[in-house]
Amino acid sequence: MEFSESRYGALLEEIFQRFPSVQKTDFATAYKPGLAGMEAFCEALGHPERAFKSIHVAGTNGKGSVASLLTAALAGVGLRTGLYTSPHLVDFRERARIVAGDAFDLIPKDYVFDFLTTWEPYFIEHGLSFFEITTGLAFKWFADSGVDAAVIETGLGGRLDSTNVITPELALVTTIGLDHCALLGNTLEAIAGEKAGIFKPGVPALVGESNPETDPVFDDKAWMLCPLTYADKVRPSLWHRRQDILKKMDLQADVQEKNLRTVLAAVDILKQIPGFKALADTEGVLAGLAGAARRTGFRGRWERLSELPFVICDIGHNPQALQYNFAQLRRYVEEGRCSSLIIVYGIMADKDLDGILPLMPADATYIFTAPQTARALPAGELLKRYTAFQGGRPSLRTYAADSVRQAVQMALQLAQTLSQQTNRSASASKPVPPLVFIGGSAFVVAEALPLFR
């Protein structure tokens, strides 16, 4: 079948409908644990995953940022680097990118179309999951494109994740938190066991954050299997330059300091491995890290969408991530970077809302909403839960919007009104604007992004 934009769009929608993804349904329906299907698919494809060196990245939080930063560092020293992440926010092709020099390319539409057209009978016959399909697609494109290396982010867990068919040069686990407990376990130890499943014989392993509850799990897994390093227990060779790096980085969330330490520890390990010697180029690494988001097309992580009005979005969705986000928002108010907070917030029904509610700034204005996915908690229910947490008293500073678009429009109108009031009353020559924060879920951010240039 010959490629056209209309045929591409129709085929992509068919794949989404026939092979459910977490963006269309729940994890329990979309998730297919086990490697047998992926191993067979890779064999049918000619084992593209063996054609390039790889770094495998797992973790509860931070794996997207770490993967992007590490990819940018590799590209900064001249390595043509593939990057596989999920989910996508706006365009399906965000899942597979190749970063070379100072720019990135998304997987071409005609390549996606030809791959899906060719292999669709195989998908149906063997009952592949959506994630197995996209993983095979990325591996094949990276191999056909001759990348020097690829950074591969797990989808869920690690041990049974479709990406775990690779034998990487480095297995990296960022952090461990209680998320996706129904599928990965209800304790930190159980979840760590799933993430540690990416450790391979003789392959260096790196854990970003040590924890008394999870360290024994990682230590036991690595014992007699592979060398293990904890990033927060070592001093990376470039750590003395961290303040300068953080100032220049275009990823500006407070949590990025922790992610940076993990990446710099990874660089120290990788530059000892054949194929990654170029990472000894310190200035190349630093240049890559400085423009990581721009260089890799990484979006939705403390991303500034507008200066006036002042709008920031972030996909952090569990207590571990949101404690950083909400603390940073409070600090912006305290430092006078914004006059007040307007928070557009939506959440998936399976998330730990009870653990999130105490973290939410009490003096903010909230516009609760729900993205267009079956997993979302309805906006009215979210408002009800928040009101009950605040003592059951309805507030004039809380609203519910039927859609993300409506919620964003309400927030921008409110920000404009507050700015006008501030302008009239302020004696300063440059009044401080309110800040609109959009977050709670990748799906909320995904629907908000197209509303801004």
> Can you tell me the distance from the alpha carbon of 299 to that of 90, in angstroms, rounded to the nearest whole number?
10
Rounded to the nearest integer, the mean pLDDT of the chain is 92
**pLDDT computed for residue 123 by the predictor:** 94
Q: How far is CA 312 from CA 27, 106, 365, 389, in A?
A: 28, 24, 15, 26
Provide the pLDDT confidence category of residue 427 given band limits of 50, 70 and 90. Answer: low
Q: How far is CA 438 from CA 252, 270, 304, in A?
A: 16, 36, 10
**pLDDT reading at 346 higher than 80:** yes
**pLDDT reading at 402 higher than 80:** yes
Provide the pLDDT confidence category of residue 25 given band limits of 50, 70 and 90. Answer: low
The secondary structure of 133-164 as a DSSP string is: HHHHHHHHHHHHHT-SEEEEE-SS-STT-GGG
**pLDDT reading at 17 higher than 60:** yes
3-class SS at 437?
A: strand
**pLDDT computed for residue 391 by the predictor:** 81
437: closest CA among 417, 414, 403?
Answer: 414
- Sheet holding 303-306: strands in order across? 303-306, 310-314, 435-439, 341-345, 365-368, 398-400
Q: Which of 2-6, 265-269, 368-372, 448-452 is the least confident region?
A: 2-6
**pLDDT computed for residue 72 by the predictor:** 97
Residues in the chain: 453
Q: What is the pLDDT of residues 182-217, one digit of tens each?
A: 667 779 999 999 999 999 999 999 999 999 999 999
pLDDT, greater one: 392 or 405: 405
Q: What is the pLDDT of residues 88-108, one digit of tens each?
A: 999 999 999 999 989 999 999
> Can you tell me the distance from the alpha carbon of 194 to that of 217, in angstroms, rounded to the nearest whole number?
10
**pLDDT computed for residue 109 by the predictor:** 97
Provide the pLDDT confidence category of residue 415 given band limits of 50, 70 and 90. Answer: very high
Q: What is the pLDDT of residues 309-341, one digit of tens each?
A: 999 999 998 999 999 999 999 999 999 999 999
- Sheet holding 170-173: strands in order across? 103-106, 96-100, 81-84, 149-153, 53-58, 170-173, 205-207, 228-230
The pair of three-digit structure tokens given for residue 115, joined into one six-digit string: 């791959």
> Can you tell me the distance from the alpha carbon of 93 to that of 71, in angstroms, rounded to the nearest whole number?
17
138: closest CA among 100, 80, 94, 78?
Answer: 94
Provide the pLDDT confidence category of residue 374 given band limits of 50, 70 and 90. Answer: confident
Domains observed in the chain: 5-296 (3.40.1190.10), 303-451 (3.90.190.20)
> Can you tell me the distance from the alpha carbon of 416 to that of 419, in angstroms, rounded to the nearest whole number?
5
| For range 349-374, the mean pLDDT | 94
| For range 347-376, the mean pLDDT | 94
Provide the pLDDT confidence category of residue 20 given band limits of 50, 70 and 90. Answer: low
Provide the pLDDT confidence category of residue 77 given band limits of 50, 70 and 90. Answer: very high
Provide the pLDDT confidence category of residue 431 given band limits of 50, 70 and 90. Answer: confident
Q: What is the pLDDT of residues 53-76, one digit of tens each?
A: 999 999 999 999 999 999 999 999
| For range 229-242, the mean pLDDT | 97
165: closest CA among 60, 37, 269?
Answer: 37
The pair of three-digit structure tokens given for residue 273, joined into one six-digit string: 């491995």
**pLDDT computed for residue 26 by the predictor:** 53
**pLDDT reading at 289 higher than 60:** yes
